[in-house]
């Protein structure tokens, strides 16, 4: 039986209007859009961002702007419908397989009238894009039947598993986005398994980060004294001479922050194809046929509920794949707690 070939499929994101908050005042509009639309994560082509700016489809306070235009707090940015050609498989309903739709209910950690918290599997992007048929948001929009009313409040990397919060109303979205800003009060805690016995002296890693992208190359993040402030707090949960189970709490939320900081201080995360080393993974886990997945999990979130102002702590179960790896490395994983409201 012949396998079905992927076909082109047009994925359309609706018109959005975004109000610039004080944190992004002074930022160039092109850089703002690159972050806002996920181009820094490779989900939307960078060339598309510059095309919609060049053609005047992006408006700031109803006027056309150049890519170099600096934003002011309170500016209203109109982001046009984004059309992406992505690969799809014939016969899949709305480009999402029945297997993923059947799996959707078990991914939900918490749900109420304002928000949805999901335990995203590693390998699933937060939203569809170039060569990505669908992501978490498209899956959950179809599962909940909320359509475009359901929005991402923040993002995590495609290869990272764990908690992602989605907003059901515009008011909830605005409140959650403010909490997830670098100066916001959302507390994000991750689990990671790294190579080597982590040093207790590295409880706080303060190393500025800068995004870098060469011509025709995938983007990377590097430690750079001229970069943006980036601070991660690390604590050891279990360790031996081969590997350490770490808890990482973000004080700032830069792209790839935990991955880059861990590699920078000499303890790369196991399974990190971008900042780690394949040979180290092979030596650590010689019996694994394939390279292990990225062992980074968005484990816990502490936020303020956008409607009630009550404290809300969410915890995501650790991926099943981690258990056998932790056993091989003689590391004991923590038990996930229930959601606390």
Q: Quick check: 141 and 147 in contact, CB under 8 A?
A: yes
For the segment 93-116, the average pLDDT, to the nearest whole number, is 88
Q: Is the pLDDT of residue 254 over 60?
A: yes
Q: Of the candidates 281, 262, 261, 257, which has an alpha carbon nearest to the alpha carbon of residue 270?
A: 281
The percent of residues in the chain predicted with pLDDT above 90, rounded, is 64
Q: Is the pLDDT of residue 216 over 60?
A: no
For the segment 50-67, the average pLDDT, to the nearest whole number, is 92
Domain ranges (residues) in the chain? 13-89, 187-328
Give the pLDDT score at 214. 57
Q: CA–CA separation, 274 vs 121, rounded Å? A: 19
List of long-range contacts for 168-172, beta carbons under 8 Å, 24+ apart: 168/113, 168/114, 168/115, 168/116, 169/113, 169/114, 171/114, 171/306, 171/307, 172/114, 172/115, 172/306, 172/307
Q: Among 38-47, 92-101, 232-241, which range has the highest average pLDDT?
A: 232-241
Active-site residue (options: 30, 157, 272, 281)? 157
| Known catalytic residue at 281 | no
pTM of the entire predicted model:
0.74
- Poorest-confidence range of 194-198, 253-257, 314-318, 326-330? 253-257
Give the pLDDT score at 43. 59
* Residue 96 pLDDT level (bands cut at 50, 70, 90): confident
Return the bridge partners of 222, or none. Answer: 210
- What percentage of the chain's residues is helix, strand, coil (to nearest 5)? 25, 30, 45
Print burial letters for 60-90: b (CB count within 10 Å at least 16), e (below 16).
beeeebeeebebeeebebebeebebebebee
Q: Of the candidates 144, 109, 40, 111, which has an alpha carbon nearest to the alpha carbon of residue 299?
A: 109
* Residue 95 pLDDT level (bands cut at 50, 70, 90): confident
Q: Among 27-31, 48-52, 247-251, which range has the highest average pLDDT?
A: 247-251
Task: Give Cα separations from 200 to 44, 265, 299 (angstroms).
Answer: 39, 12, 21
Give the pLDDT score at 270. 97
298: left (phi over 0), alpha (psi -120 to 50) or beta: beta
The percent of residues in the chain predicted with pLDDT above 70, rounded, is 87
Return the bridge partners of 87, or none. Answer: 8
Domain 13-89: what homologous superfamily?
RNA-binding S4 domain (3.10.290.10)
* Residue 22 pLDDT level (bands cut at 50, 70, 90): confident
Domain 187-328: which CATH number of 3.30.2350.10, 3.30.365.10, 3.40.50.620, 3.40.50.150: 3.30.2350.10
Q: Is the pLDDT of residue 230 over 70?
A: yes
pLDDT in tens, 183-207: 789 999 999 999 999 999 999 999 9
- Outline where the chain has alpha helix (H): 29-36, 46-54, 98-107, 136-144, 170-180, 257-264, 278-284, 320-328
309: left (phi over 0), alpha (psi -120 to 50) or beta: left
- Poorest-confidence range of 9-18, 164-173, 174-183? 9-18
Q: Is the pLDDT of residue 8 over 60?
A: no
* Residue 64 phi, psi dihedral angles, 5° rounding: -70, 150
Q: Is the pLDDT of residue 336 over 80?
A: no
4 vs 144: which has the higher pLDDT = 144
127 vs 284: which has the higher pLDDT = 284
Mean pLDDT of the residues in the chain = 87
Task: Give Cα separations from 93 to 96, 98, 102 (angstroms).
Answer: 6, 7, 12
Q: Quick check: 119 and 110 in contact, CB under 8 A?
A: no
């Amino acid at each position: 039986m012949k396998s079905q070939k992927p076909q082109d499929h047009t994925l359309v994101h609706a018109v959005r209007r975004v109000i610039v908050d004080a944190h992004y005042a002074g930022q160039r509009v092109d850089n703002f859009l690159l972050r806002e639309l996920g181009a820094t994560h490779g989900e939307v082509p960078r060339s598309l961002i510059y095309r919609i700016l060049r053609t005047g489809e992006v408006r700031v306070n109803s006027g056309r702007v150049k890519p170099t235009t600096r934003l002011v707090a309170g500016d209203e940015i109109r982001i046009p419908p984004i059309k992406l050609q992505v690969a799809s498989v014939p016969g899949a309903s709305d480009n999402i397989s029945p297997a993923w739709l059947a799996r959707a209910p078990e991914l939900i950690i918490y749900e109420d009238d304002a928000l949805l918290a999901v335990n995203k599997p590693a390998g699933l992007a937060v939203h569809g894009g170039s060569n990505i048929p669908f992501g978490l948001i498209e899956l959950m929009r179809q599962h909940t039947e909320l359509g475009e009313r359901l929005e991402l409040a923040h993002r995590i990397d495609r290869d990272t598993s764990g908690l992602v919060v989605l907003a059901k109303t515009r008011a909830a979205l605005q409140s959650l986005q403010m909490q997830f800003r670098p100066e916001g009060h959302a507390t994000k805690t991750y689990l990671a398994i790294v190579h080597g016995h982590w040093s207790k002296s590295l409880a706080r890693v303060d190393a500025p980060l800068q995004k870098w992208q060469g011509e025709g190359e995938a983007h990377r993040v590097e430690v750079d004294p001229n970069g943006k402030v980036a601070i991660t707090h690390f604590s050891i949960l279990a360790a031996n001479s081969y590997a350490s189970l770490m808890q990482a709490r973000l004080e700032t939320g830069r792209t790839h922050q935990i991955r880059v900081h861990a590699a920078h201080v000499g303890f790369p995360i196991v399974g990190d194809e971008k900042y780690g080393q394949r040979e180290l993974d092979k030596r650590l886990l010689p019996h694994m046929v394939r390279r292990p997945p990225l062992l980074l999990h968005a484990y816990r979130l502490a936020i303020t509920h956008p409607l009630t102002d009550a404290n809300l702590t969410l915890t995501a179960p650790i991926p099943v794949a981690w258990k056998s790896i932790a056993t091989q490395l003689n590391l004991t994983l923590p038990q996930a707690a229930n959601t606390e409201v």
